[in-house]
């Protein structure tokens, strides 16, 4: 059977996964009476809750006797490590663009990688039924983007389709035809995307997706570059330098058939398959016949830009909510994650029971922490810090991101002011339709940590911010941090409503009455810039004298809810977020007040 391998790439929320749902339905993957879940490719709990794709996944459909392998890729640049590997598996790409928003930064990131490896894209303008759709302008923006990314003449001569992935149709014109379906898209894939190029020689395959299966062990997905592979065949694994990783046998070959993976006896060059049976081979390694000596070239991966400390939880409440608390268990889990996720880097810190985890952005690290807490881990994590570099002359360089903010015109002034305070340079300000403007900045990554929640407050929740790593540039100087101090509990016990009520004039709380607290735990935001130790365990003194006035019930202001991402970006360098399966607590790095004073003195003298 002839093959086509394609990736669907787009900015987050432009409808990739929904389009894949419709492609599966219209190609006859489902039975007529089969119950179909929405966004079938977003299989993880966190993916379903957030409505974003985190892990790249493969599926396949048949159309007119041709098998089309489709890879759904993440739209967030934080998960870009997934995208860079996936592009080596495919021969074509469908670039999905929102008919109103046009190409966004993450689109630029993925398209740039796709054009670099020589893929000829198909442009599909999605959500054409939106009231604010502007198809012609969007196509011009896509062309300008391709030209700016040094596309070749063949790549600039891209075919265009318009339609709605949700309603299941694509057509060469913007008007919905009477026989609306996705047939034009399927036909265009067959005509425009070349058959897989096959190398000469015995079996070789580069690993691109790694997963663990409770029955089959490690499963590595990749595209067979040359030759063929059979069940029980002897293979070896080479790393990027050509050194032997292991020898072994293929215990099972799984081919993608719709959403299911079916075991097959033999797979040939050009097909995307998953193989099991090897215990050490990982992503970017070459799986090959024992006679092969040279590994295949793997795509280089952009470096991590943000790092965090993962520390064994040592608070007085440690071990009360999770069952995975020791440094050995945390270390094994982090190393396992880094093995399958090439954009993550894990190092053991000099301090005991602490690890440095580096990634592409706060979201990527927050998703890892969220996944770990759901698995029963308890950890304390530090504020994200940027990964600095030095050039040949010894000058300090820091990561700078391209930031695109879409906002209502009335709020643009405050956004420009706040961004300039964070050492951002404004590149562009232009209207984006409907009394909204699009602002484009180059801003240091460290200035953007914690800005998302502030932006939402400043713009009454109407702004949309997208970020993309741009380059390492000279250090831009000091950036002011958080202006408020914190309220710290001075004892261990359960917070009392009466005590919280009396502390309200000191600042908003971050805990509810009845919350377990301990010495050194942060319970509120101080209205001034210094930290203040307070007693939240103090109840009302009761007497046996009846008061003339009736006691009023204590009415508390609702506390500030700290989500994981908000907590990570809000804390300072001398604070930690304690993450357990049931709670997210904020605390000081040193719980004892005397230790905190000693640390401040040492900083002052240093």
Binding-site residue numbers for GTP are 13-18, 126-129
Q: How many residues does the chain have?
A: 606
Query: What number of other Cβ atoms are within 10 A of residue 300's Cβ?
Result: 9
Distance of alpha carbon 473 from alpha carbon 477, whole angstroms: 12
289/472 Cα distance (integer angstroms): 41
- The label of the residue with tokens 């009231």 reads 131
C-alpha separations of 148 from 111, 134, 354, 524 in Å = 11, 21, 43, 48
Residue with tokens 């663009």: 97
Phi, psi of 459 (to 5 degrees): -110, 15
What residues form DSSP beta bridges with 588? 575
Angle at 413 between CA 410 and CA 414, to 5 degrees: 100
Q: In the beta sheet, which residues pair with residue 67?
A: 3, 62
Angstrom distance (rounded) from CA 309 to CA 461: 31
* Residues in CB range of 447: below 8 A, 6 or more apart: 422, 423, 424, 479
Answer yes or no: are the C-beta atoms of 49 and 147 closer than 8 Å: no
**Cβ contact 42:259 at 8 Å:** no
CA-to-CA distance for 466 and 368, rounded, in angstroms?
20
Contact 68, 93 (CB under 8 A): no
Taking the CA atoms of residue 446, residue 449, residue 450 and residue 453 in that order, the dihedral angle to the nearest 10 degrees is 120
d(CA 67, CA 60): 7
Tokens of 182: 């996705």
* Known binding-site residue numbers: 13-18, 126-129
Cα→Cα distances 453→385, 466, 482, Å: 18, 14, 13
Task: Read off the tokens for 289.
Answer: 């016949």
Compute the distance between CA of residue 167 and CA of residue 120 in angstroms, rounded to an integer: 26
Measure the CA–CA gap between 109 and 223, rounded to whole angstroms. Answer: 23
**In terms of DSSP bridges, do strands 260-264 and 286-288 run parallel, antiparallel, or are they unpaired?**
unpaired
CB 73 within 8 A of CB 82: yes
What is the C-alpha to C-alpha distance for residues 73 and 70, in angstroms, rounded to an integer?
A: 10
| In contact, 80 and 343? CB cutoff 8 Å | yes
Q: How far apart are CA 131 and CA 241, in angstroms?
A: 54
């Amino acid at each position: 059977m002839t093959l086509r391998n394609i990736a669907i790439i787009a900015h987050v929320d432009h409808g990739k996964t929904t389009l894949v749902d419709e492609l599966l339905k219209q190609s006859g993957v489902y039975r007529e009476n089969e119950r179909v879940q929405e966004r079938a490719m977003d299989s993880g709990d966190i993916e379903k809750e957030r409505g974003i794709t985190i892990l790249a996944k493969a599926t396949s459909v048949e159309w007119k006797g041709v098998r089309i392998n489709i890879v759904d890729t993440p739209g967030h640049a934080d998960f870009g490590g997934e995208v860079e590997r996936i592009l080596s598996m495919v021969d074509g790409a469908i670039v999905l663009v929102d008919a109103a928003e046009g190409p966004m930064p993450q689109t630029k990131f993925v398209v740039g990688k796709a054009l670099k490896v020589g893929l000829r894209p198909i442009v599909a303008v999605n959500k054409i039924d939106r009231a604010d759709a502007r198809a012609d302008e969007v196509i011009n923006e896509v062309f300008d983007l391709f030209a700016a990314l040094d596309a070749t003449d063949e790549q600039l001569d891209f075919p265009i389709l318009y339609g709605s992935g949700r309603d299941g149709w694509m057509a060469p014109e913007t008007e919905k035809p009477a026989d609306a379906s996705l047939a034009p898209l399927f036909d265009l894939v067959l005509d425009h995307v070349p058959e897989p190029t096959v190398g000469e020689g015995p079996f070789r395959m580069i690993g691109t997706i790694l997963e663990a299966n409770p029955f089959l062990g490690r499963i590595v997905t990749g595209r067979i570059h040359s030759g063929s592979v059979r069940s029980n065949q002897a293979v070896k694994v080479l790393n990027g330098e050509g050194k032997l990783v292991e020898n072994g046998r293929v215990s099972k070959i799984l081919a993608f058939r719709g959403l299911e993976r079916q075991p097959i006896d033999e797979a040939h060059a050009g097909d995307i398959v998953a193989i099991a049976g090897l215990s050490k081979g990982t992503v970017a390694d070459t799986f090959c016949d024992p006679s092969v000596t040279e590994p295949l070239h793997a795509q280089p991966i952009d470096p991590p830009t943000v790092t965090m400390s993962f520390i064994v939880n040592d608070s007085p409440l440690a071990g009360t909510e999770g069952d995975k608390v020791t440094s050995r268990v945390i270390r094994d889990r982090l190393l396992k994650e880094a093995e399958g996720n090439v954009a993550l880097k894990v190092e053991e810190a000099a301090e005991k029971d602490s690890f440095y985890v580096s990634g592409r952005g706060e979201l990527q690290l927050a998703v890892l922490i969220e996944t770990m807490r759901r698995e029963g881990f308890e950890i304390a994590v530090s504020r994200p810090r940027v990964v600095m570099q030095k050039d040949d002359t010894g000058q300090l360089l820091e990561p700078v991101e391209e930031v695109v903010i879409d906002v209502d015109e009335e709020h643009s002034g405050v956004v420009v002011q706040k961004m300039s305070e964070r050492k951002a340079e404004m590149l562009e300000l232009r209207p984006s339709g409907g009394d909204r403007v699009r602002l484009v900045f180059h801003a240091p990554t460290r200035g953007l940590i914690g800005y998302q929640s502030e932006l939402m407050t400043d713009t009454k929740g109407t702004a949309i911010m997208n970020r993309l790593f741009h380059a390492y540039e000279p250090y831009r100087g000091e950036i002011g941090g958080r202006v408020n101090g914190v309220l710290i509990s001075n004892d261990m016990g359960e917070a009392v409503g009466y005590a919280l009520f009396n502390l309200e004039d000191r600042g908003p709380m971050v805990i509810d009455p009845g919350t377990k607290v301990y010495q050194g735990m942060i319970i509120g935001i101080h209205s001034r810039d210094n930290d203040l130790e307070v007693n939240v365990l103090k109840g009302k003194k009761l007497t046996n004298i009846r008061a003339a006035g009736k006691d009023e019930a204590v009415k508390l202001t609702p506390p500030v809810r700290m989500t994981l991402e908000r907590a990570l970006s809000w804390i300072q360098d001398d604070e930690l977020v304690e993450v357990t399966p049931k709670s997210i607590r904020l605390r000081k790095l040193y719980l004892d007040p005397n230790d905190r004073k000693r640390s401040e003195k040492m900083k002052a003298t240093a």
